[in-house]
């Protein structure tokens, strides 16, 4: 059956399913029911490392490498007068709710804790939502003139997570909006790092556009948004193989057997790029999520990547030395697309972010199951309740943030220079008078179950 014929057949299937559930509405929400709530406090520790032979790259959002330096052995002694730290904060969606007000940070240097002042940034100068509804904890310090030899940062926040059950039949009744999407959903169409461009410039291959045309026969709006989203996810899950991890683990700890480095030691996020994934039909789980997000955006469906940390019994601190080839531990990405029911005029329309766990879908061969049946991972999940959301972007979006992430494999440029590709690691900072060079980084995560004091909703002692 040709793609165009299959595409139109899907519409008939979706109408039959939708008609059987007209009028049903779950009390937990119009499309998503939450269950099995879990409460967490997540702490991310960033350690700036030195004293080894390395090449270092510093970079920032505006796609210009700050410097390429073969540093040799560095003592990492550098003057700092003041600075700013950036850590991403997710929001609220089907499987989670982040308490942004609970965000805390600490900065340790030379054996001392440096005082910080905090701002939560979640809207632009026009009070419009940031890209994809993101937010950032921003901590500033200084003036604090000192020569620093070691640096360690800790970022923490509270979050609740749930498993989800998707009312797909009800969601199928929602048509494409006749007008604009809500501001938070619309913002996801703005230029996004590592989907539209990298640190060096824009992508020009149009891979996502070609796949969107292929999967929808060039007529994505001939189907309801949920049909389009489900069909594309199923097709991608059967064509592209996700393998390995979404991180480069830090190999710069003094451990002889690097295979026993804890799974949550991250040097930088790992992805090969949309072009390579589309060409080779394989990539990291993060590549998989980035590609699906890009295709959704190409058909006009707002979508965002969610980067989370597996905190429950399937990964994280519970299993320190798990098989490193299993993707469902440590850093874990998935995708959310926006479903907007503008018929809910009494409340200004209803915007719901629907999770698509494309990795679970592939592992369970979900995309090969009958289309008119529920698919585990598409809206419904008994796994995402164990995953704490970290960010909607790989690098602080539209912030002058620098980091020390880099690919472990060198690149040879046309002029013969050998460099290491700069890669993001969620966080960033900016220092005055200058950034240090010749340093590396390691990011580790700890998820604990907090217990609240009755008189302080934002205070916790970790068990």
DSSP 3-state assignment of 309?
strand
DSSP 3-state assignment of 131?
helix
DSSP 3-state assignment of 275?
helix
Query: Vertex 289, ends 122 and 299: CA angle to 5°?
Result: 85
Among 197, 276, 208, 202, smallest CA distance to 236 is for 208
Rounded Cα distance, 249 and 329, in Å: 13
Q: How many CB atoms lie within 10 A of CB 288?
A: 28
Rounded Cα distance, 238 and 245, in Å: 19
Any idea which residue has 């299937």 for tokens? Answer: 13
DSSP 3-state assignment of 425?
coil
**Torsion region of 379: left, alpha or beta (phi above 0 gives left; psi -120 to 50 gives alpha):** left
Sequence-ordered alpha helix ranges (H) in 246-333: 274-280, 285-298
* Pair of tokens at residue 390: 């970290």
pLDDT digits (tens, 9 = 90+) for 226-279: 999 999 999 999 998 888 888 887 654 433 333 444 445 788 999 988 888 888
Share of the chain above pLDDT 90, in %: 48
Predicted confidence (pLDDT) at residue 32 exceeds the cutoff of 80: yes
pLDDT digits (tens, 9 = 90+) for 287-297: 999 999 999 99
Looking at the DSSP bridge assignments, the partners of residue 82 are 432
Alpha carbon separation from 119 to 86, 87, 101 (Å, rounded): 10, 11, 10
Alpha carbon separation from 85 to 139, 183, 364, 398, 416 (Å, rounded): 5, 27, 40, 14, 35
Instruction: Kindly report the pTM of this predicted structure.
Output: 0.84
Rounded Cα distance, 56 and 439, in Å: 6
The secondary structure of the chain in percent helix, strand, coil, rounded to multiples of 5, reads 20, 40, 40
DSSP 3-state assignment of 421?
strand
What pLDDT is attached to residue 451? 60
Any idea which residue has 């490498």 for tokens? Answer: 65
Rounded Cα distance, 209 and 220, in Å: 12
What pLDDT is attached to residue 429? 92
DSSP state of 206: -
Predicted confidence (pLDDT) at residue 96 exceeds the cutoff of 90: yes
pLDDT, the chain, mean: 79
Q: Are 249 and 441 in contact (CB under 8 A)?
A: no
Sign of CA pseudo-dihedral 40, 46, 47, 52? positive
Q: Are 334 and 384 in contact (CB under 8 A)?
A: yes
What pLDDT is attached to residue 418? 72
What pLDDT is attached to residue 345? 58
* Pair of tokens at residue 193: 């790092």
Question: What is the per-residue burial (b if ≥16 Cβ within 10 Å, else e) of 128-142?
Answer: ebbbbbbbbbbbebb
Q: Are 314 and 386 in contact (CB under 8 A)?
A: yes
DSSP 3-state assignment of 261?
coil
Looking at the DSSP bridge assignments, the partners of residue 98 are 159
What pLDDT is attached to residue 139? 98
pLDDT, greater one: 252 or 362: 362
Q: What does the pLDDT average to over 98-117? A: 92
Annotate 349-397 with three-state secondary structure: CEEEEEEECHHHHHHCCHHHCCCCCCCECECEECCHHHEEEEECCCCCC
Q: Are 266 and 444 in contact (CB under 8 A)?
A: yes
pLDDT, greater one: 350 or 250: 350
- Cis? peptide before 433, omega within 30° of 0: yes
State the DSSP string of 34-101.
Answer: EEEEEEEEEEEEEEEE-SS--EEEEB-TTS---EEEE--S----EEESEEEEEEEE--EETTEEEEEE
Contacts of 435 (CB under 8 A, 6+ apart): 58, 66, 402
162 pLDDT tier (thresholds 50, 70, 90)? very high
What pLDDT is attached to residue 462? 34
């Amino acid at each position: 059956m040709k793609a165009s014929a299959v595409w139109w057949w899907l519409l008939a299937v979706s109408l039959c399913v939708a008609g059987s559930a007209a009028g049903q509405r779950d009390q937990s929400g119009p499309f998503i029911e939450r269950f099995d709530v879990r409460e967490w406090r997540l702490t991310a520790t960033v350690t700036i490392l030195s004293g080894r032979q390395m090449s270092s790259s510093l970079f920032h959002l505006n796609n210009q490498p700050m410097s390429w330096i073969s540093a040799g052995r560095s003592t990492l002694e550098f003057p700092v007068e003041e600075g700013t730290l950036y850590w991403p904060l997710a929001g609220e969606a089907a499987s989670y709710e982040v308490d942004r007000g609970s965000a805390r940070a600490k900065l340790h240097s030379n054996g001392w804790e440096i005082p910080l002042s905090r701002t939560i940034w979640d809207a632009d100068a026009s009070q419009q939502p940031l890209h994809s509804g993101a937010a950032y904890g921003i901590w500033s310090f200084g003036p604090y003139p000192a020569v620093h030899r070691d640096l360690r940062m800790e970022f923490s926040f509270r979050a609740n997570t749930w498993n989800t059950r998707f009312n797909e039949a009800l969601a199928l009744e929602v048509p494409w909006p006749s007008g604009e999407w809500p501001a938070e959903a619309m913002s996801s169409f703005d230029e996004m790092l590592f989907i539209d461009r990298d640190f060096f410039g824009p992508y020009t291959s149009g891979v996502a556009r070609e796949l969107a045309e292929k999967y929808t026969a060039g007529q994505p709006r001939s189907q309801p948004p949920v049909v389009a989203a489900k069909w594309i996810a199923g097709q991608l899950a059967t064509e592209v193989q996700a393998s390995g991890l979404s991180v480069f683990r830090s190999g710069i700890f003094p451990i002889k057997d690097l295979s026993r480095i804890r799974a949550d030691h991250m040097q930088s996020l790992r992805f090969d790029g949309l072009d390579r994934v589309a060409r080779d039909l394989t990539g990291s789980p993060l590549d998989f999520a980035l590609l699906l997000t890009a295709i959704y955006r190409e058909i006009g469906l707002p979508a965002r990547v969610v980067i989370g940390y597996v905190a429950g019994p399937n990964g994280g601190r519970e299993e320190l030395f798990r098989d490193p080839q299993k993707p469902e531990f440590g850093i874990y990405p998935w995708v959310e697309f926006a479903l907007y029911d503008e018929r809910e005029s009494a409340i200004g329309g209803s915007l719901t972010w629907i999770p698509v766990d494309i990795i679970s879908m592939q592992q369970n061969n979900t995309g090969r199951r009958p289309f008119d049946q529920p698919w585990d991972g598409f809206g419904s999940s008994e796994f995402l309740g164990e995953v704490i959301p970290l960010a909607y972007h790989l690098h602080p979006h539209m912030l002058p943030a620098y980091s020390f992430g880099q690919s472990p494999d060198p690149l040879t440029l046309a002029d013969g220079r050998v460099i290491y590709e700069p890669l993001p690691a969620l966080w960033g900072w900016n220092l005055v008078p200058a950034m240090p060079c010749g340093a590396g980084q390691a990011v580790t995560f700890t998820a604990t179950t907090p217990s609240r004091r009755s008189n302080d909703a934002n205070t916790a002692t970790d068990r």
